[in-house]
A and B are shown apart, each in its own frame.
Chain A
Amino acid sequence: MDAILLQLLNGLDKGSAYALIALGLTLIFGTLGVVNFAHGALFMIGAFIAVSFSKLMEISKITIDPDKVDFLGNPAKIKTPYVIEWFGNFGHWLVEWSVPVSVLLAIPIMILIGIIMERGLIKHFYNRPHADQILVTFGLAIVLQETIKLFFGANPIPQSSPDLLKGSVDFGVLVGFAENTIIYPLWRLVYFCFSAVLIASVFAFLRFTTFGMVVRAGMEDRETVGLLGINIDRRFTIMFGVAAAVAGTAGVMYTPINPPNYHMGMDFLVLSFVVVVVGGMGSLRGAIAAGFLLGIMESFASMPLIKDAIAAIGLPSIDQIIIYLVAVVVLLVRPRGLMGKAGVMEE
């Protein structure tokens, strides 16, 4: 039972990353009708905003220590970050909390990147077939990831969570199990909570603000909203920025979980598209539900118990294809996905 609960927790955690990326994808598809293959790259750029901020905090004053030598036998250079020298304890705090602070930085930067991306490139492809949109956004994703590699290299760059949020918690004790049966990393729980808050915020924004109401109306009937004299295109452009910010902040918070590298966006992209398709094209609720469902299924498929049972009947391991198997089953039973609407991508 403890093993199942542990994998359930893990699945929710994995699913939260899928759900956040899929949410942004669906927002863009639902508003602008664009299949954005560069969305994974936005997740990656968010992660590298955290890396950049951390590097910025580490810009150091270099002094020579005559008592120590470097690998060539020359006097060693001692680095003291300027931020610590200038601000003392606050500087220490900034260095330690660089990842959460990066979230605040990432929001305006990602909104700006999203708007530039939409106005500068993607808007020229609104009236083109989906295949063209996929090609151009996929090409853009490659350009973005190669640019990141040029500046940051190919190897992963580790990022630390603040000391307060490091380590693990005995989750089992909280839900009535014996000690040391369900240990879970604290930062992964933080990530799950962050995702839940972010998803709730996006839904609240769309549900309870006038701007959100207009956007939802535009998603239902763009032409009629336009006839009412509302500049729906401008609102949709802003929504593109919001979707980019959702992906970017998800990327920032992911950095202490797995050290970011230039390829991480591509790793998530295909899975997120499957999530969107399983959830139903254009359905925000469907994307969230499918994200968590597929995350949980993936976690369970990795359990040794399941792997052994599958091996016992002579089949190969399914942990990397379970998502696609679930997608096949869901699409056979519900061709429009879990919560898909009629008429979306059916022309």
Chain B
Amino acid sequence: MSKLIMNRRGLLKSGAAVGAGVALPTIFTASSAAAYTNEPTGGAVTLGFNVPQTGPYADEGADELRAYMLAVKHLNGEGDGGMMNTFSSKALQGNGILGKKVEYVTGDTQTKSDAARASAQSMIQKDGAVMITGGSSSGVAIAVQGLCQEAGIIFMAGLTHSNDTTGKDKKANGFRHFFNGYMSGAALAPVLADMYGTDRAAYHLTADYTWGWTQQESIQAATEAKGWSTVANVLTPLTATDFSSYVAPVLNSGADVLVLNHYGGNMVNSLTSAVQFGLRDKMVNGKNFEIVVPLYSRLMARGAGENVKGIFGSTNWHWSLQDEGSKAFVKSFGEEYGFPPSQAAHTTYCQTLLYADACERAGTFNPCGVGEALEGFDFDGLGNGPTHYRAEDHQCFKDVLVVRGKENPTSEFDLLEVVQVTPRAQVEYAVDHPMFAGGALGACNPGS
């Protein structure tokens, strides 16, 4: 009769062998059963909302989150339906997505690329999110877009304005509804030339990261095409808080226009400094000195207070638009939360509806199927007029708004007035435009 003697090493070896044996069929089963990452199997589908809940863009993130929750409510057949009623596609029925109830998880990007990737990773791996959306910064959007491409998840970008998001950093699994720096330049430059003339000298202060660089390049090219010259482009650190030492030299630089390629807190502080230094009261080269903020946000305009009065910029959408889609969204959002939505809220609401609609039309949550449904999709009724999701770079093309800080606001929300709705044709560009060159869309990745 033999006696079984088991020491610690033997136990570990046996355990490992048995574990591997048990796990092996499971690995193959899992691989063969799920056609794509996080394929929903129950009666619900989970979406991941990755927004800045802390950090300098937390208020913007909060507005995005409100819009996401409203979209989920509408998708599940609750509330008044918002823009689902005006959306040109009628695939959405208010019974969730493909008959599955929509649930969601949230993550905090902190407006930091590494934190945003970590929270997206967690939502994909732990919570089973089948789609990730959000972001209030191009750096974050590009980082999370890359992660979703690797993981086989669709990424519906939120507020990201850098040309690179659908330019050199574009990905097959990533889609952007928001406009970009090139479009801001194309919309804004003709209005600036009309208002301020073609013989102008511009001084650019530019946030030193991907969004700032591409916006500055776009605005410079568009204004120079109208006859303006560029005196200087000074890069300012993203972490800067006091811009007085960057603004002070503008006075004697010979420039008669200051272009602030800043967003968020940077924009608030640089604009405040520029106004305090009396730039707007100065005459240079026989002309009134002017300030331009190419990318405007109502939430940021509120931070800058009365300094925004009369200053031109561009925006993706504004709550005062009178088309049926915008009115429906403002009513729905306003009744839910008591104030009008921001452009960040609008774009994230649209992205959620567009994703859900694409799933319905594709009949699947498979990212490749959803991607195909979004590519080349033409739609209307979401507040921006007829819109096209271009297949080649996954960028939405639609009208762009040129806005100006309102001189006599009638309420705390009434800060910007729409000066011009720039038609889509004016802001379109070729797929191989040099400002968007350098990257490849690649192939769709279903993951799993």
Interface, chain A (partner B; CB < 8 A): 2-3, 6-7, 10-11, 13-14, 68, 70-72, 76, 149, 153-158, 160, 167-168, 180-181, 183-185, 187-188, 257-259, 261, 263-264, 267, 298-299, 302-304, 307, 317, 319-320
Contacts and interface: CB of A to CB of B under 8 A. Distances in A.
A13 B243 CA distance: 12
Nearest to B284: A180
A259 B243 CA distance: 12
27 contacts: A7-B245, A7-B248, A10-B244, A10-B245, A68-B410, A70-B411, A72-B331, A76-B410, A149-B58, A155-B300, A155-B302, A156-B265, A160-B306, A168-B281, A180-B251, A181-B252, A183-B277, A188-B244, A257-B242, A258-B272, A261-B56, A267-B239, A298-B245, A307-B234, A319-B237, A320-B237, A320-B240
Interface of B: 54-60, 208, 232, 234-235, 237, 239-242, 244-246, 248-249, 251-253, 265, 268-269, 272-273, 276-278, 281-282, 299-300, 302-307, 319-320, 330-331, 334-335, 339-340, 410-411, 413-414
Contact of A299 (B245, B252, B265, B410): B245
Contact of B58 (A154, A168, A259, A319): A154
Given A72-B335, A261-B56, 17 more contacts: A14-B242, A71-B330, A76-B410, A154-B54, A154-B58, A154-B59, A155-B59, A155-B300, A156-B269, A156-B303, A168-B278, A183-B278, A257-B272, A258-B241, A259-B269, A303-B245, A304-B234
Contacts, number: 130
Contact of B252 (A3, A71, A187, A298): A3
B289 to A, nearest CB: 11
Nearest to A296: B245
Contacts of B268: 156, 158, 258-259
A26 B55 CA distance: 29
A154 B276 contact: no
Contacts of A307: 234
A137 B120 CA distance: 32
B245 A72 contact: no
B282 A263 contact: no
B340 A71 contact: yes
Chain B CB within 10 Å, residue with most, of A187, A261, A264, A298: A261
A183 B251 contact: yes
A299 B245 CA distance: 5
Contacts of B252: 2-3, 6, 181
Given A155-B299, A185-B278, A261-B265, A304 B249 contact: yes
Nearest to A167: B278
Given A155-B302, A261-B56, A71 B334 contact: yes
A324 to B, nearest CB: 13
Contacts of B241: 258, 264, 267
Contact of A155 (B208, B281, B303, B307): B303
Contacts of B331: 72
Contacts of A168: 276-278, 281
Contacts of A180: 251, 282
A44 to B, nearest CB: 12
B232 A304 contact: yes
Contact of B269 (A11, A70, A258, A303): A258
Contacts of A13: 244
Nearest to A254: B242
A188 B247 CA distance: 14
A180 B279 CA distance: 11
